[in-house]
Amino acid sequence: MDLTPNVYDPACPTRLVLDRIADKWTTLLLTLLAKGPRRFNELRRLVGGISQKMLSQTLKGLERDGLVEREVLPTTPVSVTYSITPLGLTLATEIEGLTTWAQRHIGAVLAAQSRFDAR
């Protein structure tokens, strides 16, 4: 008997979370914020290729999910810092595993691709 919900069912709520995780910018931002709090434009500079819109959008999503916390400091002009939550940190740890895997096995993957393409 299987106690786990069926993630292969499109209606399964767990798949909603999974779909959120399966996002380019989400993974990059979360692992970056796991290293420490950052300001908005700081993130923009650090994550190469992200647009203003996607940064804002992704951060809002992360905040909504309780993975990231947004703090506004009343300076002039205003400054905003984003920091990871305890919950977010547990997810970031899992994602780090994927990043590590990618770094460790990228050679094997590229080699497989070459073999595949060569025919």
Partner DNA sequence: CCGTATCCCCGTAGATACTG
Partner DNA sequence: CAGTATCTACGGGGATACGG
**Which residue of 1, 3, 11, 78 would you call a contact of DNA, by CB under 7 A?**
78
Q: E strand or H helix at 19, and its extent?
A: helix 13-21
Binding partner at 71 among a second copy, DNA, none, C-beta below 5 to 8 Å by kind: none
- C-alpha 23/C-alpha 62 separation (Å) is 11
Which DSSP state fits 51?
A: -
Contact characters 78-117, a second copy, x per CB under 8 A? ---------x--xx--xx-xxx-xxx-xx-xxxxxx-xxx
Taking the complex as a whole, the smallest distance from the CB of residue 106 to DNA amounts, in Å, to 20
Q: Which of residues 7-26 bind a second copy (CB under 8 A)?
A: 7-11, 13-14, 17-19, 21-24, 26
Which one, of 31, 17, 18, lies nearest residue 84 by Cα?
A: 31
Select 2 or 117, whichever has its Cβ closest to DNA.
Answer: 117
CA 58/CA 47 separation, integer angstroms: 12
Full strand arrangement of the beta sheet holding 68-73: 38-39, 79-84, 68-73
Interface positions with DNA (CB under 7 A):
24, 39-42, 49-54, 56-57, 59-60, 70, 77-82
